[in-house]
Structure 1
Amino acid sequence: MLARSFPPIADARARVLVLGSMPGAASLAAGEYYAHPRNAFWPIMGELFGAGPELPYEERRERLMAAGVAVWDVLKSCRRVGSLDTAIERDSEEANDFAQFFQDNSAVRLVAFNGQKAETAFKRHALRTLDDATRERLTFVRLPSTSPAHAGRSLAAKLEAWRAGLGSGERAT
């Protein structure tokens, strides 16, 4: 099935961009980022920015933007059966327009990947589309996936990694 991502959650206050790979089936059905009830994204955002899952989706979006956090996905579209990143057909991957995003959101300094697939897809498709000045101003960090498919870490461990990573000034290689 062809999956298409959503527009970014972002405004002029964005200083951090959190990137997933592609919304899962529950998110696509709901029309909301990280809609699967066992995904740790919104509980983590609740702890860090007061944008927890108990709030209506629009309020969560507003709180993230007020905190300078943007959310998007690396892929604009892809073919995938189910929700797993491993099911994405690599030859079908089409990236979002990051050159335009970073031009429009020039205050972004930190790009945080929600898991390995997001980082890999960004490096494969998007990094080369950025000019030198944009690449130089950005710091990249890979964080543990919030997906329920990645149950090897507890919510507490994921939260601490996200807290450290979003405060990180280290460049990922």
Structure 2
Amino acid sequence: MSRISSLPPIVDNSSKILILGSVPGVKSLQMQQYYAHPQNNFWKLMFHLLDTEFSSDYHTRLQLLKKHRIALWDVIESCERKGSKDTDIKSEIDNDIQELINSHPNIKIIFCNGQKSYKNLLKVVGKNFIIPIVVLPSTSPLHTIKFEEKLEQWKIIKDYL
């Protein structure tokens, strides 16, 4: 099993919200884009939440996040994993989330995209972290609740825009 590494963070000094995934899936690593698998609901959710017409252009997607001061990263820096399932992750090394927060003090809340990112984040920063952490249902196609249910729970992000 080969070792995979996460993508660099999408963040700037105006970022207020940080969304953390676990580690990119196979398609995202191939394309070097966050949430590249066409069945992952992340981008569909973001465009719905931000009342913007959907685009499959990655640059447009990143501009949408930047406009709304949303940063993206993954909790896991590198790991061993066959395929894209979080349950298959082994030998993980976590990203330095604390350093990212320290160097981007405008970030006021962290949303975890799924349970794996949440559990790993708590291991890294502890339960009494300096900013709030909210766990949301995974946007992965492997997390099989309906899109409408995911959207309803993800709407909390709008409270922090």
Residues 144 and 101 (structure 1), Cα distance of their counterparts in 2 relative to 1, 3 Å cut: same
Deviation by residue 1:131-158 (Cα, 9 ceiling, x = unmatched): x8xx33x11100000000011x111110
**Native 8 Å contact 1:75 1:94 kept in 2:** yes
How many residue pairs are counted as aligned between the two chains? 159
Q: C-alpha distance in 2, partners of 1:107/1:32? A: 24
Shift of 1:99: 2.2
Structure 2 residues without counterparts, runs of 5 or longer: none
SS in 1 for 2:38: coil
What root-mean-square deviation, in Å, do the aligned CA atoms of Structure 1 and Structure 2 show?
1.9
Q: C-alpha distance in 2, partners of 1:5/1:115? A: 16
**Native 8 Å contact 1:17 1:111 kept in 2:** yes
**Native 8 Å contact 1:113 1:141 kept in 2:** yes
Residues 51 and 8 (structure 1), Cα distance of their counterparts in 2 relative to 1, 3 Å cut: farther
**Native 8 Å contact 1:49 1:64 kept in 2:** no
Q: C-alpha distance in 1, partners of 2:5/2:148? A: 31
Shift of 1:164: 2.4
Q: Which of 127, 137, 146 does residue 144 from structure 1 map onto?
A: 137
Say whether residues 1:127 and 2:120 are aligned partners. no
Q: C-alpha distance in 2, partners of 1:165/1:123? A: 20
Q: C-alpha distance in 1, partners of 2:62/2:3? A: 26
2:39 corresponds in structure 1 to 38
Shift of 1:51: 6.3
Q: How does 1:88-107 map to 2 (within 5 A)?
A: 88-89=89-90, 92-107=91-106
2:156 corresponds in structure 1 to 164
Residues 7 and 36 (structure 1), Cα distance of their counterparts in 2 relative to 1, 3 Å cut: same
Q: How does 1:8-27 map to 2 (within 5 A)?
A: 8-27=9-28
**TM-score when normalising by structure 1:** 0.86
| Structure 1 stretches of at least 4 aligned residues deviating more than 4 Å after TM superposition | 50-53
Structure 1 residues without counterparts, runs of 5 or longer: 169-173
Identity %: 37
Deviation by residue 1:93-120 (Cα, 9 ceiling, x = unmatched): 1111122201111011110000000001
SS in 2 for 1:78: strand
**Native 8 Å contact 1:51 1:64 kept in 2:** no
Q: C-alpha distance in 2, partners of 1:52/1:94? A: 37
Q: C-alpha distance in 1, partners of 2:29/2:3? A: 11
